[in-house]
Amino acid sequence: MKILKKIGKWILFLLGGIIGIILIVLLIIRINSSGVEEPFLDEHGEVLPNSIAMHEDKIINGVPQRLTIRGKDINNPVLLQVHGGPGGHMPPVLHRLLNIDLEDLFTVCYWEQRGSGSAYYLHTDKIPDSTITLKQIVDDGLEITDYLKQKFNKDKIYIEGISWGTTVSAFMVQKRPELYQAYIGIGQMANQPLSEQMSYDFVMNEALKQNDTASINQLKQIGRPPYPNKTAREMADACDIERLIVNKYAPPQRDPFNFNIIKNIFLDNGLTFKEKFAPAINPQLIGNAYWLLWPTCFNINLMRDVPEWKIPVYIIQGENDHYTETSLAKEYFDSIKAPEKKWFLFKDAWHAANFDFPEKYRSIYINEILKK
C-alpha cells in the first residue's frame, strides 16, 4: 500500500508539473496575442515611414472577410494574393517564416475568402452557406480589388493565385481585365476533372510498385474520380486521403509546418488568442468553404472556360505537382492567348513551388514581372 501511495503521489506530482507547463505556455501565447500586426521597424526601432501593417474584417458584399495588408512602402505596386483550398487560407505570418513574402517589393493584401479564415471563426453566423460559391468569391475579389485601387491610388494591381486561387483569379481577370497589371499563377489549375484522375492513377501506380498495401486499400476504398454519387463532404474526405498518399510519393522539398514555424505562428501578435485556438477547440470553425466547394473544384476546366487573357500571364509550376498536374498546366499555358506569357518550371518542386524554392520565386518577381 505504501508503494502504491508513493506511486500515486509521483503521478500527481508529474501531472501537476505538466499542467503547470501547459499553463505557462498558454500564458506566453496569450501575452503574444494582441491581434495587432507587427510593424516594419528601422534600425533604430522606429516604424518605417510609408510602411503599412494592418488587418481588418471588412464587409465585402455583405459578409465580413479578413484583409491583411502589409508592405514596407505604400508607394510600391499592390499585389492581391488569392489563396488555395478551397478554404485553404494560411496565416500571413507564414509567408514571412517561409521566406516567401514579397512585402519589400509590393504592398501585399492577403485575402481570406468567405467561408474561411479568421473572419469566419469570429462571424460564422453572418456567412450563410448558400453564399459560399465560386461566383460569389469572384465578385468578392473584384470588390476588394476596387477597394485596394482606391485606398492606394493605383490604376491597376497585380494578382497572384495559388491552386484553387488560380481559378478564382482567372475568373476575376476574365470578368474585369482592366483592373490588373499581370497575373501570376502557382500550381495552375487547368482541367481539374482530368487532373484528379491522373493524380489518382499516379499514386495507385506508385503504391503498386512499392507493394504499399495500406495505400492501395485506401485508394480502392475511395475509388477513382470522378465522384458523381459522393456528397461534397465525401469528396473532400476522399481528396484528403488521396493527397496524403500523393505527399508520400511526391513530397515537398521542405516541411512548412515544423516545430519552429508552428511556435512562431503561436507567438505572432497578428492573431488574437481566440483566433489561434478557435479551430482546434471547435473543428466546425475550420471553414465551410472547404466542404461546400469541392464539387465545384472537381469540375473546373479553364481550358474550356478561360482560353484567352487580356493581361500578361506568368505561371510557376512544380515539376512534381500532382495536385494540379503539371502536364495539364503546361498544356493550358501553351493553349492560351495573352499579350505576354511566360512559363517557369521548378525542378524537383511540388504543388506549392514557391514554398520549395523561395529565392527562385522572388527572383522571378524581381527580374521578370516588375521589370516590365
pLDDT at 76: 97
User: pLDDT tens-digit profile of 125-162?
Assistant: 667 888 889 999 999 999 999 999 999 999 999 999 99
pLDDT at 285: 47
User: pLDDT tens-digit profile of 285-330?
Assistant: 455 777 788 889 989 999 999 999 999 999 999 999 999 999 999 9
Residue with cell 475509388: 223
Of 233 and 180, more confident: 180
- 301 contacts 329 by C-beta, under 8 angstroms: no
Half-sphere exposure at residue 13, Cβ-oriented, CA atoms within 13 angstroms: 6
pLDDT at 257: 65
Peptide bond into 358 cis (omega under 30): no
Q: Write the single-letter amino acid at 29.
A: I
Identify the three-state secondary structure at position 15: helix
- 123 contacts 83 by C-beta, under 8 angstroms: no
**What is the C-alpha separation between 202 and 225, in angstroms, rounded?**
13
Q: Write down the pTM of the prediction.
A: 0.90
pLDDT at 97: 79
Residue 108 burial (C-beta neighbours within 10 Å; 0-12, 13-18, 19+)? buried
